[in-house]
Amino acid sequence: MTGDAMVLLLFDRHHPCWDDEAVALMGEDPGSLKRLCDEGLLKRNETIYSLTPRGMEVFKEYCSQSFCESVPGESPDNSYGQAYLLWRTKFKNLLDQSFTARWGVKEFHVDTYLEYAPALPKEELYHIDHPPHVTWTYDSHPAVERMKEDFPILGLKARDSTPPSLEAIESWHSKNEVVKGSLYVDLLLLNRCDFAYYMHHPKHPNDVLGLVNADRFYCFRTLPPFDQSCKKYIDIIGKIHLFLLNQRRLYIPGYVDVDSADQDSLNWVVWVVDTEKEAISMHGLLAPMGESLIGPAHPMDVWVISLEALRSVEKKYELIYDLFPNVAHPIVRSI
């Protein structure tokens, strides 16, 4: 298969928009983009390329010839949507190429929604005290109190009991009139260390997202001016709180904070910005809130990382746990 064909196959359903830099990051020739455009297989909006209808058909032909199950990507019509999808692809590739994950496996998930309950308005989720301090009012909400009463066993002790089935959990929500919400994650990285050791462990019946035996990095894009979106950031962190609360008590109790070998399993919220100047600004906004950001969801971490810092990585780090302390900024750490 030619180099141009390999570039065309980059335009799958999860990565429908590319530019010169993104293609170069994959080790391919950016010149392929113009050639494919000249052939009518790609169309161009300023610097962003996407598949034409003919390009989609050729994409399918290449997949058929190489026994590949990829689906061609459909680009949104608007420039904002294209720019976002291009950003997401660049971030994923920069992060992927910054560490090797020796002895492990990296799983990148896009278009992921985290389901949580109860779905609460901001005024019932938290409030901010002065000086900057977050009080998580959701923790005493009647629906959360009922959840704690009905599913009281946490941690390793929970492994001694049979967890409720997905059907039983759904019934509990219905019986108690607990409304669910969902949170969109720009990129979810599941980092599995010592993959060969864990691959023989049976899958947990309630582990829909594959969280067991993985460290989870919930990555969210954020844009300046940051101070105008402070409540939005806390709202997102609060929804992660509720997601983890549900996983710890209902879905995979005993496997959220430790894995099958009783090793720590991480849950990190990662804010992603473009420049180091922005990273310092974002850190300065949230860091004064300290431990109050994680509160009852402890243990979890909150970090900020920039594309600029990822671009500066010349030699891959061995592990993501080496990468972050060297290129990212910890807002609050718990482990």
DSSP string, 82-115: HHHHHHHHHHHHHHHTTB--TTSEEEEE-SEEEE
pLDDT of the residue at 1: 63
Q: Helical H runs in 210-301? A: 230-246, 276-286
Per-residue model confidence (pLDDT) at position 129: 87
Position 245 scores a pLDDT of: 98
Q: Which long-range contacts (CB under 8 A, 24 or more apart) does 175-179 make?
A: 176/143, 176/146, 178/117, 178/118, 178/143, 178/146, 178/147, 179/117, 179/118, 179/119
Tell if the pTM clears 0.85, that is, is over it: yes
Determine the average pLDDT of the residues in 220-236: 96
Rounded to 10°, the helix 230-246/142-150 angle is 20
Q: Cα dist. 239→10, 16, 63, 122, 280 in Å? A: 33, 29, 39, 10, 24
Structure tokens at 49: 């390329």
Q: CATH 1.10.10 residue ranges in the chain?
A: 3-89
Sheet holding 329-332, edge to edge: 105-109, 187-192, 215-221, 267-273, 301-306, 329-332
Q: Is residue 198's pLDDT more than 80?
A: no
Cβ atoms 177, 169 nearer than 8 A: no
> Is residue 91 scored above 90 in pLDDT?
yes
pLDDT in tens, 104-119: 899 999 999 999 999 9
| N residues, the chain | 335
Q: Are 189 and 112 in contact (CB under 8 A)?
A: no
Which pLDDT belongs to residue 297? 98
Distance CA 216, CA 327 (A): 18
Mean pLDDT throughout 110-131? 94
Token pair in block for residue 1: 């298969």
CATH number of 3-89: 1.10.10
Rg for the chain, CA atoms, rounded: 22
d(CA 77, CA 133): 42
pLDDT, tens digit, 9 for 90 and up, residues 240-272? 999 999 999 999 999 999 998 889 999 999 999
